[in-house]
Amino acid sequence: MNFWLPYPFLRISLFFAIGILAGIYFQEWIPVQMAGVVFISGIGVYLFLTGFSKPELLIRIHNQLGMLSLILVMTGGYLTWYYHTETYRSSHLVHLEEEVALYEAIVTGIPEEREKTFRVPVRIKTAILDSNKILVQGKILVYFPKDAPIPVYGNQIVVKGNPKSIPPPQNPHEFDYARFLSFQQIHHQQFLTQGDWKITGHQPPSKILEVAFKFRARAAEILKSSLSDHHGQAVALALVLGVKDGIDNELRDAYAAAGAMHVLAVSGLHVGFIYGALFLALGRWRKTIYGRWILAIAGLGILWFYAMVTGLSPSVSRAVTMFSFIIVANVSNRTTNIYNTLAASAFALHCYDPYLIMSVGFQLSYAAVFAIVIIQPRLYALYTFRNFFLDKIWVITTVSIAAQAGTFILGLVYFNQFPVYFIFSNLVVIPGAMLILGLGILTIILGLFTGFDVYTGLILEYILRAVNYLVFLIENLPGSVIKDALITPFQAIVLGFGLTFSVLLLRHFRAYALYGALTALLLFLAHAAISDFHIFSKDCIYVYKVPGHSVMDIISNRRAYTWADETITQEPAKAGFHVDLNRRYHKVKHTLPVAASHELAFSKMGHGALMVFNEQNIYIMDGPVPTLEAPLVVDYILITKNAQRNPDLLEQINFNFMIIDSSNNYFAGRYWEDFCIKHGKNHHNVSTSGAYSIP
């Protein structure tokens, strides 16, 4: 327990987070009433023991009291999660059984531009059900067409139609968008057309946020007008203001492959730069007590306003909260422990929003900072450079290695890749990001008050072009990124323990740390080998749900033999979101057309085709039923492209199971479902029930 003594907030924050995670993952097993009883009775026991026990007894039960307090903190985390979970309130939208005809809502965020729409978060206030107006609460993602005026933060709107629940994944191993949004307490969405809504007023939930968002919009206009290069605009807007609408797939992939994606998310790097610049400008005020308070108030105000301007993302919220604790500690002449400061900032953010713990940005931000604090000083001390520039290069290098060590497991879990040349890219992008941030802020200030932003914008554009050129250059180096590095949750946990023991080995060089790291490595390799054997020993056929299209994979021996319609064949990326993660799970190395396979038989038959794989016969029907001398007997029939309806189908094709893929429209799907029900045939409609797999 002595290890814990200097870090009280680390203990508190850790157990509070465990309580939140217990609520998120085990809410069905832990009734809130039981948690409330434990919390209240635990407080009673703690107060009784500390208030009425003799000093010598308190010394003897000191450890037990400590454990009781941590249990109370953990229970408090669970109750905080329950209190903040809106779906547990009876008035929430998820509990409505009737369809909503009309509802009133208020815009609570910044519109985000998509390919064909603007996505706007709103909070519903009232709903009309069969002429009855009721109070309702809940968040909705509303998609507005681009050819119409888009509501802004604070607008009150009236919307026609019934918000739909966000569907779960429709394909195996597909990204769970519904779960992702549920951690933001969003459970519904609605796509609008012209005339479906009306702006009725303006009443922003926060005047400060409204001012911040208006400043953000004006600042974005200044940067756009000062920069002509599309990629330069996108990087400047993301890096300075947190606006990521302009980042296309090409730019995102380049920065991800180079290991430089972190500079496009406003985080501690940006906040630290702003705080450092403010400290240099006003640092002389620290000499007096009033000056210290003025500097502290100015610092807190500017940092939090910048956080609001950039959208209060988890990473910037973490950084600003941490710096706020540091500022308050400095002005009150208190010494700060960086671990306690980090833990206190996490605790404060979790009290405000317990679901932040499930945010990828939040996890990456804290993992990176803790790793830098723990690992970087040891790495830096390994070698000393007397030359100033070599020393700064060594600092950036050790920071990059430490941050990557802290985040690479999360990178594998969430993004399934590892950037090989991250050290070299960070030597470019970190100094470049500081120049871009400084010049970007200066350009915005000059644009607001003078016309000289044209000149700083010109310099900024050259720097952006240079940084982007080097990032793309690093991306194109041989083996720049290890892709498809899919790991299981168990493997991630084992790697986490291995990393922990490795850090302990670096700090103390004890035998137990070496044995722990080696044990974790052996467990990881053993589990990976068993998982790979299980995956490779199983052949599968998948009929995916790709709305409006036909896509089928026959996966065998790390190859995917694909049958798809002409559009997907010419533009495979259109199906990527729906199929890529399943292919990664099966560790597919090559994707080939079915005609290239020697493991299956594929032959055209009239307007359809017959495929035989692993003794499974599948007839693919995309037109009229072929005229055959004798009925064709197959295990499966796959209906595609609104194949011609034929009540006499069974006279030509005798099948056991019908699959209706997602290229069929609603009416064709219903027809074939009714056909199967009438003739007692099993069936599966991919459009309504999601992807189908054989076996």
Give the model's pLDDT for residue 626: 73
Give the model's pLDDT for residue 240: 87
- 502-535 residue pLDDT tens: 888 877 777 888 888 899 999 989 988 888 888 8
Q: Where are the beta strands (DSSP E) in 514-628?
A: 540-543, 551-556, 559-564, 590-593, 601-605, 608-613, 616-621
The bridge status of strand 682-685 relative to strand 692-694 is unpaired
* 171 or 334, higher pLDDT: 171
Residue 327 has pLDDT above 60, yes or no: yes
Average pLDDT (128-157) is: 89
- Token pair, residue 231, equals 């990629």
- Token pair, residue 128, equals 């009309």
| β partners of residue 620 | 609, 638
Q: How many CA atoms lie within 13 A of 322 on its CB side?
A: 25
User: Residue 510 in contact with residue 504, Cβ under 8 Å?
Assistant: yes
- Token pair, residue 86, equals 């809106």
Question: What is the overall mean pLDDT for the chain?
Answer: 86
Band of the pLDDT at 5, cuts 50, 70, 90?
Answer: low
Query: Helix (H, G, I), strand (E, B), or coil: what is residue 158?
Result: strand
Q: Which residue has the tokens 């968002």?
A: 213
Q: What are phi and psi of 691, to 5 degrees?
A: -60, 155
CA 505 – CA 518 distance, rounded (Å):
11
CA 545 – CA 169 distance, rounded (Å):
10
- Token pair, residue 634, equals 């197959």
CA 224 – CA 577 distance, rounded (Å):
30
Average pLDDT (404-425) is: 87
Band of the pLDDT at 1, cuts 50, 70, 90?
Answer: very low
Average pLDDT (436-451) is: 86
The Cα-based distances of 354 to 19, 142, 312, 314 in angstroms read: 10, 24, 15, 12
User: What are the residues whose beta carbons fall under 8 Å from the beta carbon of 561, sequence distance 6 or more?
Assistant: 553, 554, 555, 592, 593, 594, 596, 597, 599, 600
Average pLDDT (148-161) is: 90
CA 320 – CA 326 distance, rounded (Å):
10
User: Residue 414 in contact with residue 360, Cβ under 8 Å?
Assistant: yes
Give the model's pLDDT for residue 75: 94
* CB neighbour class for 86 (10 Å; exposed up to 12, middle 13-18, buried from 19): middle
Report the Cα 382 to chain-centroid distance in Å. 36
